[in-house]
Structure 1
Amino acid sequence: MAGRTRPFSGFEWMIAWRYLRAKRAEGGVSVMTWISLIGITLAVAALIITMAVRAGFRSEFVDTILGANAHVTIYQTIEVSETGQTSRVITDYEAMAARVREVPGVTRAAPLVKGQVMASLGNRNAGVEVFGISQEDLLTIPRIANPDQFRGDVTRLDDGVAIGWGVAQELGAEVGDKVKLISPNGVKTPFGTTPRVNVYEVTYIFQAGRYDIDRTRVYLPFAEAQSYFNREGGADELEVMVEDPDRVDEMATALLMAGGDRTLLWTWRDASGAFLSALQIEDTVMFVLMSVLVLIASLNIISGLVMLVKNKGRDIGILRTMGLTEGAVLRVFFLCGALVGLVGTAAGVVLGCLFAIYFDPILAFVNGASGGEVWDASIRGIYRLPAELQLGDVISAVALSLGLSFVITIFPARRAARMNPVEALRYE
């Protein structure tokens, strides 16, 4: 009758459960069981936390790129005039922008004038990059129009300049202060080019979420920038935003045709692709390294089960003489190991998800306890380290943990199933 018992029947679960909770004096290995359980819990939690933090960093980094920079920059090849002067200035920028806006998937095409100058306030100076843009176009840049922090009024760009948070800190500037912009390429005179010095009121201070942007960027009204940089009637480039930035490469041909013969493209992937590729490789390496921790924790199940099989040799012999099959014995000890892996994985998922969900207050506590900033924006580029739970990452962690736990459990379970009942009872 035992041979006809269905696999994983009630009595097999009962025996496995009794063995797991048996005290050491009764031949159990409760201490080893707890060590295996805690090890798997911590390993799975660490794997989920690591993947959540990596996903959050990647998401925040890409969002700051796409939220404050052009998805595609359109500029032109160098043109040589009859006098031998070279220029990339786009003279028909309005017509070009109109053609680009008609490309399917394009949400905005704005002409820009760009230049690097010195900003000065009092005795403090800072090198900045000026973006000449219209107020209407500035309002369509998410990370500038709706930043993490701001002071002033973004709609007053025509009355002055908008500066990044880092620029304001470097200069000690506040809204309403007068900032000097000093350009070495100023007014041309018979005696040469003299520097151009203009004074502008700070009307808006923004924090875009990226240290390098906030530390260097200044927005100037488009018409004023044309005059300041000697670009009357022209623009340096077109700043293009698209609906789906991930498909920007597929739109390259249409954008080139809309731009004209001398058009060149520079996408956000060209600017940050190498860093994003490095992040992808780092994510893979981190997953492999953390998977080794899960494997090491799962190996504790083997040591616990080996000790359990050794201590329960007499019980195995009695069960076999009563008619229990090798398969039933294998399933009993498989359940012992699998239950440890299952419970440890479930606890690890709960712990890891809770840590990821409350990652911000935990990081704030660590900052307070350490007495300093654990996360330095000047080194890492973004101001905060978020954690983003993704279902696929959690499923991967669960599948890895359960898979290793189940596979590893089979080996000591097979040893128990193949134990000769005669040898097991010989000295009893």
Structure 2
Amino acid sequence: MSIAVRIAIRYLLAKKSRNIINIIAWISVIGVMIGAFGLLIVLSVFNGLHDLVGSLYGSFDPDLKVTPRTGKVFSTDSINYEGLVRIEGVDALTEALEDHTLFRFGKRQVPGLVLGVDDNFNKVSSIDSIIVEGESSLRDNVFNKGILGYALADQLGYRLNFVTPLMLYTPERTKKINPARPDQAFTSSYINPSGIFMVNQIDYDANYVIIHIDQARQMLSYDTTIVSWLGIKLSDPLAGNGVKEEVKKTLGENFLVQNREEQHETFYKMMAMEKLIAYLILSFILLIAIFNVISTLSMLIFEKRHSISTLRSMGADRKLINRIFLTEGWLISLAGAGAGLGLGLLAIWLQQTFGLIRFSGEGTFIVEYYPVILRWRDVLLVFVTVSVTGFLAAWYPVRSIVNRYYTELQKE
């Protein structure tokens, strides 16, 4: 430990001639502590919300999604399908065909999207985990079946115990619209829904009906090789970037390969921007709290002005004296940062373990209590933020006041 640090610690802990100096020093430490605590908590809440929404999308979306860069559909014969299946890390592959459809039940009509999937869809997604009523059956030997989003079912007024089927009307791709008979430009089909799913995301729950891909191809007049996208299930999601690059090499430049965050790029960018803005706002508040260190350090330097003379007489130069008081001011910030981070870690653990802060309105939210997730890079970020701002806050009073005292001593 350097002599500057040892002297700074001694000055900081030593009894002051006026008790008000101790009080102001403690106020500075507490202010920094509250700022660091709040910053860590807010960042952890954003982490929790990010992962919560990611888990909701993950129950429906594949780990990797392959779509054509141009056009709505492509043929599986145009790609190296077998090579795609043999890529190490690819656990399962599903084909999907998606298009706009008008749903009708009784007198109610709702536009939406029909998603035709094959038998591997259950392996690639977690659709079974979000079935809230019925089952995830898409066909049997007699009827075409399907799964409705719960909000769409509510708009249509449909219930699984109804005998009347759900009608689907899809525009004919190969026919021109006759203004006199626009109804002839649609092909009709029906399903007997077997289940209702709930992703808790209105984009899915209010728009999608999942059917078997064979029925979707028949409705849309496509042959058996046409798909809108391919879904890939990874053996190890943590190694997704490596598999993604292999998939891109196998498919070539004409296809877009997206992970789950890239599939909802706008939403995740918005979440990242909100987190950044929250960090900047709280950092500004923390900066205001840290500037209390200026007044504290000014009084501490005034308290030790006679010691400056003693140190100078013992051979300490101006640089060493500056370093002593700069370290003392920095220690005040670090003490507050350490206490704030410690309390923040404790609060996060208590919230994760016991769910102390809960949402009001029991049963109306996806989760019962606020989700928080600790990431150590956030702890490091808060510590660095406090350290840098604390150093800058201490630098000005040290340079200004200590230099003035030192110059006065030289004139004596």
Q: Same fold (TM over 0.5)?
A: yes
Q: CA deviation at 1:103?
A: 3.9
Q: CA deviation at 1:239?
A: 1.4
Name the counterpart of 1:72.
65
Q: Report the CA distance shift for 1:230/1:385 in structure 2 as closer, same or farther (over 3 A).
A: farther
Aligned-partner SS, 1:69: coil
Name the counterpart of 1:55.
47
Name the counterpart of 2:224.
233
Q: CA deviation at 1:265?
A: 3.8
Name the counterpart of 1:109.
93
TM-score if structure 2 supplies the norm length? 0.74
Q: Which residues in structure 2 correspond to 1:219-298 (within 5 Å)?
A: 219-231=210-222, 233-241=224-232, 243=234, 244-247=239-242, 248=244, 251-256=247-252, 264-265=255-256, 267-268=258-259, 271-273=263-265, 275-277=267-269, 279-280=271-272, 283-298=275-290
Aligned-partner SS, 2:372: coil
Name the counterpart of 2:135.
153
RMSD value, Cα: 4.5
In structure 1, runs of 5+ residues without a counterpart are 79-86, 258-262
Q: CA deviation at 1:201?
A: 3.0
Alpha-carbon separation, structure 2, partners of 1:57 and 1:392: 17
Aligned-partner SS, 1:388: coil
Aligned-partner SS, 1:157: coil
Q: Report the CA distance shift for 1:266/1:403 in structure 2 as closer, same or farther (over 3 A).
A: closer
Aligned-partner SS, 2:247: helix
Aligned-partner SS, 2:291: helix
Q: CA deviation at 1:39?
A: 1.9
Contact 1:132 1:219 in 2 (8 A): yes
Q: Percent identity?
A: 18
Name the counterpart of 1:140.
123
Name the counterpart of 1:210.
201
Q: Which residues in structure 2 correspond to 1:5-44 (within 5 Å)?
A: 6-9=3-6, 13-19=9-15, 22=16, 26=18, 28-44=20-36
Q: Report the CA distance shift for 1:267/1:409 in structure 2 as closer, same or farther (over 3 A).
A: closer
Aligned-partner SS, 1:29: helix
Alpha-carbon separation, structure 2, partners of 1:254 and 1:104: 12
Q: State which of 283, 288, 293 in structure 2 corresponds to 1:301.
A: 293
Contact 1:129 1:217 in 2 (8 A): yes
Indicate whether 1:180 and 2:161 are aligned.
no
TM-score if structure 1 supplies the norm length? 0.72
Aligned-partner SS, 2:390: helix
Q: CA deviation at 1:389?
A: 1.6
Alpha-carbon separation, structure 1, partners of 2:30 and 2:87: 57
Q: CA deviation at 1:398?
A: 0.8
Aligned-partner SS, 2:224: coil
Deviations 1:138-174 (A, max 9, x none): 2113342333x633223x3325211223223333444
Alpha-carbon separation, structure 1, partners of 2:80 and 2:407: 88
Alpha-carbon separation, structure 2, partners of 1:88 and 1:317: 79
Name the counterpart of 2:333.
341
Contact 1:103 1:255 in 2 (8 A): no
Q: State which of 196, 201, 211 in structure 1 corresponds to 2:192.
A: 201
Aligned-partner SS, 2:97: strand
Q: Report the CA distance shift for 1:351/1:126 in structure 2 as closer, same or farther (over 3 A).
A: farther
Contact 2:290 2:389 in 1 (8 A): yes
Alpha-carbon separation, structure 1, partners of 2:35 and 2:281: 11
Alpha-carbon separation, structure 1, partners of 2:29 and 2:70: 64
Deviations 1:197-251 (A, max 9, x none): 5443332222234331222111112233333333353433341315354453563
Alpha-carbon separation, structure 2, partners of 1:145 and 1:97: 27
Which amino acid counterpart does residue 183 of structure 1 have in structure 2? Y
In structure 2, runs of 5+ residues without a counterpart are none
Q: CA deviation at 1:395?
A: 0.8
Indicate whether 1:316 and 2:307 are aligned.
yes
Aligned-partner SS, 2:14: helix
Alpha-carbon separation, structure 2, partners of 1:194 and 1:317: 93
Q: State which of 390, 399, 405 in structure 1 corresponds to 2:390.
A: 405
